Amino acid sequence: MELTSVLNQSLTYINSFALRCAVGLNISGHIQAYGHPMPLNELARSIPISPEKDMMLGRLMALLVQKEVFAQDEAGCYMLTPFSNLLLTERSNMGAFTCFITEPAFTKHMCAMSEWFKDGEAGSTVCMAANNGKDIWDLFRENHELGNLFNEAMASRCKQQMGVFVKSYPHMFADLNSLVDVGGGTGTAVKIIANAFPMLRCTVLDLPHVVAKASKDDSFNVVAGDMLKKLPPADAFLLKNVLHDWCDEDCVRILKGCKEAIEPRKDGSKVIIVDIIQDFENNNAKATETGFLFDILMMCCHGAKERKKQEWHDLILAAGYSGYKIHPTQLGADCVMELYP
């Protein structure tokens, strides 16, 4: 039994690359377009692949069915599942996240982890050790393809998160006139918020080369800037999956900057954090495991971490906030925190 467990754990990376292959072949899209359960030969011709590879495709599909990415009917024809629906471009397009997280230019960091533990310099990250001292943001700036993959991955995750967020927590936007999404990438989150609350003046702030790729949309403003330096004034600030990229000292700086930019303060002013709380009681083993996986990812890429409740408490108080509230989560691994200046 132990041998099987070691073999299984060692081979689980193949699941990620099988999923990447399914995204690259647009298998979800072909099954959706077919309109009803799809036989293997029809799937193969729609991709298309040569007939001698049909059986190999069947072997790939067998693994993906076992992982519940797809399903089969009694005749062996393939169907979409809630999982594969998320891979569709017109849905959340989580396939973009899959492609980014399995991109060779990115996964090589994972291969350098043991060397970094043994020989890495103090203050360096696994990413820096694997890329001649360059941090992850340097890579995204220099490698435009990787940077675009990152932006698409964050947007795909954001679509799924924010659809749940605006429906589950509408009270957070009551009485607000303005909101800034700090480190908001290309504007996916603020567009969803602005569409749900059209009277709310929304702004996305990120580095110049990031917001340059933001969609042109009259529903929100775009500001190029550095969140570690200065933030535009607003009633509320959103930090969605941002602070886990940063060390404690920088998190305090960012939170203080948000607090100072709430001017003038009024009832309802706040900072909203959407991020993982590692020891949050959600009774969801998959979400808990996802939190640990993200923690290792943050360690390797940024030298940062996912945090426990006490660590969040310490950051929030160190930044001078008068109080905060953690809301019940419907966002999987993520939690929602509301900070009061």
Q: Could you read off the pLDDT of 256-286 as tens digits, one per residue?
A: 999 999 966 667 799 999 999 988 776 678 8
Q: Give pLDDT < 70 ranges for the chain.
A: 263-266, 282-283
What's the total number of domains in the chain?
A: 2
Residue pLDDT, tens place only, 88-146 = 987 778 999 999 999 988 888 888 899 999 987 877 899 998 888 888 888 888 888 88
Prediction pTM value: 0.89
* CA proximity to 46, closest of 65, 64, 61, 33: 33
What CATH number should be reported for the domain holding residue 60?
Answer: 1.10.10.10
Residue 328 has which token pair?
A: 């019940």
State which of 43, 59, 91 marks the end of a domain: 91
Q: Which residues of 82-118 are buried (b: 16+ CB within 10 A; e: fewer)?
A: ebbebbbeebbbbbbbbbbbbbeebeebeebbeebee
Q: Is there a single domain that holds both residue 124 and residue 203?
A: yes
Q: Is there a single domain that holds both residue 188 and residue 229?
A: yes
Query: Which of 30, 109, 244, 302 is flagged as catalytic?
Result: 244
Q: Is there a single domain that holds both residue 317 and residue 270?
A: yes
Q: Is there a single domain that holds both residue 80 and residue 105?
A: no
Q: State the CB neighbour count (10 A cutoff) for residue 10.
A: 9
User: For residue 154, what are the CA distances in angstroms to 94, 96, 119, 332?
Assistant: 9, 8, 32, 16
Residue 290 has which token pair?
A: 């996802």
Whether 124 contacts 176, CB under 8 Å: no
State which of 31, 57, 91 marks the end of a domain: 91
On the 0-12 / 13-18 / 19+ scale of CB atoms within 10 A, 230 is: exposed
Q: Is there a single domain that holds both residue 115 and residue 65?
A: no
pLDDT for the residue numbered 265: 66
Cα end-to-end span (Å), the chain: 54
Its domain, for residue 45, covers: 2-91
Q: Establish whether 109 is a catalytic residue.
A: no
Residue 45 has which token pair?
A: 């011709």
pLDDT for the residue numbered 160: 82
Q: Is there a single domain that holds both residue 22 and residue 139?
A: no
